[in-house]
């Protein structure tokens, strides 16, 4: 048995049906773009926005992530700001994602030491920290995104994300 390719969907004899649907689609896309812009507004760098757009799209259509950009964490009297704090479902948000641009990270030994000290404080407080360099994000943002999603899915399955 052979199958014929379905023709382009039409709206029969409904006057303006195709135009109406195209208008609804365009309105929906504009609305979604505005929501993404609002959610990405706290991001402080282009690499945060590049990664953030994929995270927020997944949050709205995939595994229902809870994402907070520029999340303030109070750990042992110190205030840290994480690029992203991510949780899944009703589990407590325990994944910190850092986007390390060359300007503010790893440029000097002091900056590198500060980042490692932050990582240790967050780890001691029960957070998991994933760091991505600006080079990694620019080269393959989807690989970085997939690493995060794979970690979340495996971590949620063994209950670690809800400590």
**pLDDT, tens only, 108-163:** 788 888 889 999 999 999 999 999 999 999 999 999 999 999 998 886 545 444 44
pLDDT at 14: 65
For residue 160, count other CB atoms closer than 10 A to its CB: 15
DSSP letters, the chain, are ---PPPPPP--TT-TTHHHHHHHHHHHHHHHHHHHHHHHHTT--SHHHHHHHHHHHHHHHHSS-EEEEEEEEEEETTEEEEEEEEEEETTSPP-EEEEEE-TTTSSSSHHHHHHHHHHHHHHHHTT-EEEEEEHHHHHHHHHHHHHHHHHHHHHHHHTTGGG-
Q: Taking the CA atoms of 115, 161, 75 and 42 in sequence, report the sign of the dihedral they define.
A: positive
Q: What is the pTM of this model?
A: 0.77
pLDDT for position 80: 94
Domain ranges in the chain? 17-162
Class for the domain spanning 17-162: alpha beta
Q: Is the pLDDT of residue 96 over 90?
A: yes
Least confident of 11-15, 22-26, 81-85, 142-146: 11-15
């Amino acid at each position: 048995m052979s199958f014929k390719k379905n023709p382009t969907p039409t709206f029969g004899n409904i006057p303006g049906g195709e135009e109406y649907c195209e208008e609804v689609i365009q309105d929906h896309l504009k609305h979604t773009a505005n929501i993404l812009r609002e959610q990405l507004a706290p991001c402080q760098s282009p690499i945060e926005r590049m990664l953030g757009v994929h995270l927020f799209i997944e949050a709205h259509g995939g595994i229902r992530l809870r994402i907070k950009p520029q999340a303030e964490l109070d750990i042992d009297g110190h205030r840290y700001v994480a690029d992203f704090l991510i949780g899944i479902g009703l589990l407590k948000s325990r994944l910190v994602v850092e986007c390390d641009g060359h300007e503010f990270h790893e440029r000097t030994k002091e900056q590198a030491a500060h980042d490692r000290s932050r990582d240790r404080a967050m780890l001691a407080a029960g957070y998991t920290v994933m760091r991505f360099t600006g080079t990694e994000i620019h080269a393959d943002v989807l690989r970085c995104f997939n690493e995060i999603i794979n970690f979340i899915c495996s971590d949620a399955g063994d209950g670690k994300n809800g400590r």
